[in-house]
Amino acid sequence: MAGKFPGAPDLDSFWTLLMDGVDAIGPVPADRWDSTAQLDPEKEIQAVGGFIDGVDRFDAQFFGISPREAEAIDPQQRLMLEVGWRALEDAGQRADALAGTRTGVYVGASWHDYELLRKDRDARPTPHSLVGNALDVIAARLSYFLKVRGPSMTVETGCSSSLVALHLACQALRDGEIDAAVVGGTNLILDPHVTVGLTHFGGLSPDGRCKTFSAAANGFVRGEGVAALYVKTLARALADGDRIHGVVANTVVNNDGGGESLVTPSPAGQEDLLRRAYRTGAVPAGAPDYVEAHGTGTGRGDPIEATAIGRVLGGDRDTPLLIGSVKTNIGHLEAGAGLAGLMKNLLALRHRVLPPSLHSAELNPAIPFDDINVRVVREATPLPPTGPLCLGVNSFGWGGTNAHVVLLSPPGTEQAAAADEGPATGLPAVLPLSAKDDVALGRRAADLAPLVPATAEGTAAQAGALAWRRDHHPHRAAVVATDADTLRTALTALAEAPDGEPEAPGLVTGSAVPGGGTAFVFPGQGSQWTGMGTGLFRDSPLFADVVTRCADALRPHTDWNLLDIFSGRADDTWTRRIDMLQPTLWAMSLGLAELWRAAGIEPDVVLGHSQGEITAATVAGILSYEDAALVMARRSAIARRTSGQGRMLAVDLDRDAALAALEGFEDSVSLAVHNGPHSCVLSGEKEAVLTLKELLDAEGTYCRLVNVDYASHSPQMDPLREDLLAALAPVRPREARIPLMSTVRRTRLAGPEMDAAYWVENLRSPVQFADAMQAVLDDGITHVVEISPHPVLAPAV
């Protein structure tokens, strides 16, 4: 959720304003109109109000709008774009993920002040101004920008508009018409015409204060504001690990349907509304704990509303029902008033305290508070520290359309917060920031600097939210943070030098380059070293969980314990036995891959080199951990039978030259690996490979022996075929969740092909890494990450 209110440009400052008991009413800003002028020959016009700053400021470029068009657009449309975007950011919902979805947009709005202002200034109508000042386009423009396909409507029911908008969104969610909704409310006071009309109507306070439930109540003062909520069903929000501010247990809308006059509030209509609102099993007994009243501070309206609340909800309570109104702080936001009260309640649920309602030192004697068992919250009042809470919100339209929302504290809040953090990696947090230009990037850093968490867990949660739950823009920065001070220093440096080159420990800045995707590449043997992974196993819960899962999967197939290696308890025997080395590299690479993914780096394709293809198939979801462990354990154990019989030789030759070098050795040595234009590996009988090395050395061809004592990807593997087929018969490959490029067949595999026969082929056939790598590059991959404890394939890539 997000909002801009008088004296409060964001919800944190809004809460501070409420708790500090601030009255945010002030004089009409000089850039609106001359409040000292005689605006009406008969009446003195209210010269104060609750105003927000910056209604003329708008980041048109961010929203893809030209400056010329932006100038013709009602600021209500512009601000709804901005606040709607901020609500999505608060929810951790990436806007790009909403494109094409059944997401609805419902906005409450009433007045056309900007259109009146343009007419007063003799601005000529244009296509931009016609669309830019239509009320329905307040919602439609946000739908257009987000590219969402759910219902889009601006709701106009007077001062209940924004709460009725929420009601319609909740109905659509319950009916399955939409998957999610952005609900908004807006009110701006740009021109005095409406104020003049309301003065004649008789609802405005002569002294410009909203004194709800007070003996001095004499009308309301107008206020501005823009607010937006992102709403889902509770089940879906919990499943998605969303941040949940509160649960809408029920919404009810009715109309007074007659009465003293069209614009006079009806006791019967309000009582009917409240009875229907709490006639549901979703509301706990004794509810609500508090009702945020419509509370305009009028002589007629306050007693009718308070009495209706007390008659319906106060009678059976042991203690008085608490009531109050945010209008005493910020004025009456008219079409946006309902969401202002709702957000006050949502913040009260978060902090479990009710802010004071102002200007009610002497209570209205026309309200029988004791008889109806209600009490005005005149000082900050703690709510019960534990257990579910229930708060209600009233909002009434001047044509008799009434709305009430029942809010509950969210269940599963702790679980949802944990989901935001992502896996606990135990590593320094990397906080990514981005914006559409460097100035905006500096502002983003300035916004985040005061919010730096004090704990490593909090920093991890913030990093996870920024990586996973924010849209990413071209101008970027990242902070590698080991503690709060490092993070705060880096963010401050970025905020203070957005146009320069900020310098701070752990801070990196740059611009995104067009990218077509990311490949994870998993090598075979050669990247191992004694002690690899022991620090990660000790310090990173995520890495340790992956290794432990691998150890459990390997246990039925081995007579040694993988955990002894990663805990440092084992000697270096594992580095010399391929049946220990290869499974250890599998676990190591899987753990590293999950760390990359936890940091927000997801592969668009995976490929593996020799045994590394088993790891690739695991990450792709083709092999379960159990099947991958079986393939890795049996493949390496059966291949170990040939240990000591063969060698492998890396040569700096292209494929044709490598084949030519084999002349005279065709029966004993073969081309095993083609890594790149000048990188091949030859494999075969031990003595023959050593003799060939001597010849190549003498010719000046660079070559080196690979640190293995068997000849994989050569005819030496042929006798192992039947035993390996039988051992791997239980393997049941699945459809790939991530595309896999085969380095055996040089094509993408769907998954089910990677059965026992494939893994025999993987051990025996040449590794066509160069061709497979070129194929993924041709498909548009622009970033390649080698997932290994030491880089061995990077030169080939």
Sheet holding 783-786, edge to edge: 748-749, 740-741, 605-608, 518-522, 783-786
Helix %, strand %, coil % for the chain, to 5? Answer: 40, 20, 40
CATH code, 766 = 3.40.366.10
Looking at the structure, do residues 502 and 431 belong to the same domain, yes or no? yes
Looking at the structure, do residues 7 and 22 belong to the same domain, yes or no? yes
Residue 791 lies in a domain: no
> Does 607 have pLDDT greater than 90?
yes
Residue 334 lies in a domain: yes
* pLDDT tens-digit map of 318-365: 899 999 999 999 999 999 999 999 999 999 999 999 999 999 999 999
What would the mean pLDDT of 514-519 be, rounded to a whole number? 84
CATH code, 671 = 3.30.70.250
- CB count in 10 Å sphere of residue 698: 8
Give the structural domain span for 734.
Answer: 519-642+712-786
The predicted pLDDT at position 274 comes to 96
Lowest mean pLDDT among 460-469, 530-539, 770-779: 460-469
Pairing label, strands 103-108, 180-187? parallel
Q: How confident is the model at residue 415 (pLDDT cuts 50, 70, 90)?
A: very low
Looking at the structure, do residues 536 and 482 belong to the same domain, yes or no? no
Q: Please report where in the chains the tokens 């929810």 appear, as a residue.
A: 91
The predicted pLDDT at position 427 comes to 66
| Domain edge (last residue) among 689, 709, 729 | 709
Lowest mean pLDDT among 11-20, 133-142, 194-203, 456-465: 456-465
The predicted pLDDT at position 421 comes to 44
Residue 793 lies in a domain: no
CATH code, 492 = 3.30.70.3290
Looking at the structure, do residues 133 and 279 belong to the same domain, yes or no? yes
The predicted pLDDT at position 483 comes to 79
> Does 423 have pLDDT greater than 70?
no
- 209, 325 Cβ separation under 8 angstroms: no
* pLDDT tens-digit map of 357-401: 999 999 999 999 999 999 999 999 999 988 899 999 999 999 999
What would the mean pLDDT of 631-639 be, rounded to a whole number? 95
Half-sphere exposure of 601 (CA within 13 A, CB side): 17
Looking at the structure, do residues 394 and 436 belong to the same domain, yes or no? no
* pLDDT tens-digit map of 552-584: 999 999 999 999 999 999 999 998 899 999 999
> Does 417 have pLDDT greater than 60?
no
Contacts of 428 (CB under 8 A, 6+ apart): 480, 481, 482, 506
Q: How confident is the model at residue 498 (pLDDT cuts 50, 70, 90)?
A: low
Strand intervals (E) in 147-294: 152-155, 180-187, 225-231, 247-255, 290-292
The DSSP output letter for 719 is: G
Contacts of 66 (CB under 8 A, 6+ apart): 60
The predicted pLDDT at position 281 comes to 66
Residue 756 lies in a domain: yes
Looking at the structure, do residues 678 and 734 belong to the same domain, yes or no? no
- 766, 673 Cβ separation under 8 angstroms: yes
> Does 254 have pLDDT greater than 60?
yes
Distance CA 678, CA 654 (A): 4
Percentage of residues of the chain with pLDDT beyond 70? 96
Residue 500 lies in a domain: yes
> Does 217 have pLDDT greater than 90?
yes
Question: Higher confidence at residue 790 or residue 37?
Answer: 790
Q: Write phi, then psi, for 416 (nearest 5 degrees).
A: -65, -40
The predicted pLDDT at position 419 comes to 36
Nearest one of 590, 642, 648 to 614, comparing CA atoms: 590
Looking at the structure, do residues 316 and 379 belong to the same domain, yes or no? yes
The predicted pLDDT at position 412 comes to 54
Query: In whole angstroms, how far apart are CA 268 and each of 259, 311, 373, 402?
Result: 9, 11, 19, 12
The predicted pLDDT at position 289 comes to 96
Count of helix runs (H) and strand runs (E) in the chain: 29, 27
- 103, 46 Cβ separation under 8 angstroms: no
> Does 304 have pLDDT greater than 70?
yes
Residue 797 lies in a domain: no
Looking at the structure, do residues 404 and 441 belong to the same domain, yes or no? no
The predicted pLDDT at position 497 comes to 81
Whole-number mean pLDDT of the chain?
92
Nearest one of 416, 543, 439, 545 to 496, comparing CA atoms: 439
Contacts of 278 (CB under 8 A, 6+ apart): 250, 287, 288, 312, 313, 392, 406
Residue 179 lies in a domain: yes
**Count of structural domains, the chain:** 4
What would the mean pLDDT of 452-474 be, rounded to a whole number? 75
Residue 794 lies in a domain: no
Looking at the structure, do residues 402 and 466 belong to the same domain, yes or no? no
Q: Please report where in the chains the tokens 């802010």 appear, as a residue.
A: 355
Strand intervals (E) in 385-516: 390-396, 401-408, 429-435, 475-481, 507-511
Helix (H, G, I), strand (E, B) or coil at 727: helix
Question: Higher confidence at residue 38 or residue 731?
Answer: 731
| Domain edge (last residue) among 357, 381, 413 | 413
The predicted pLDDT at position 521 comes to 97
Pairing label, strands 679-685, 290-292? unpaired
Distance CA 237, CA 232 (A): 6
Q: Report if pTM > 0.75.
A: no
Looking at the structure, do residues 600 and 689 belong to the same domain, yes or no? no
What would the mean pLDDT of 743-763 be, rounded to a whole number? 96
Looking at the structure, do residues 450 and 545 belong to the same domain, yes or no? no
Read off the tokens for 320.
């008085």
β-pair partners for 375: 322
> Does 420 have pLDDT greater than 50?
no
Q: How confident is the model at residue 84 (pLDDT cuts 50, 70, 90)?
A: very high
Helix (H, G, I), strand (E, B) or coil at 729: coil
The predicted pLDDT at position 426 comes to 58
Contacts of 245 (CB under 8 A, 6+ apart): 1, 346, 349, 350, 410
The predicted pLDDT at position 416 comes to 32
The predicted pLDDT at position 444 comes to 85
CATH code, 189 = 3.40.47.10
> Does 610 have pLDDT greater than 60?
yes
Looking at the structure, do residues 426 and 506 belong to the same domain, yes or no? yes
> Does 722 have pLDDT greater than 70?
yes
| Domain edge (last residue) among 483, 512, 541 | 512
Q: How confident is the model at residue 473 (pLDDT cuts 50, 70, 90)?
A: confident
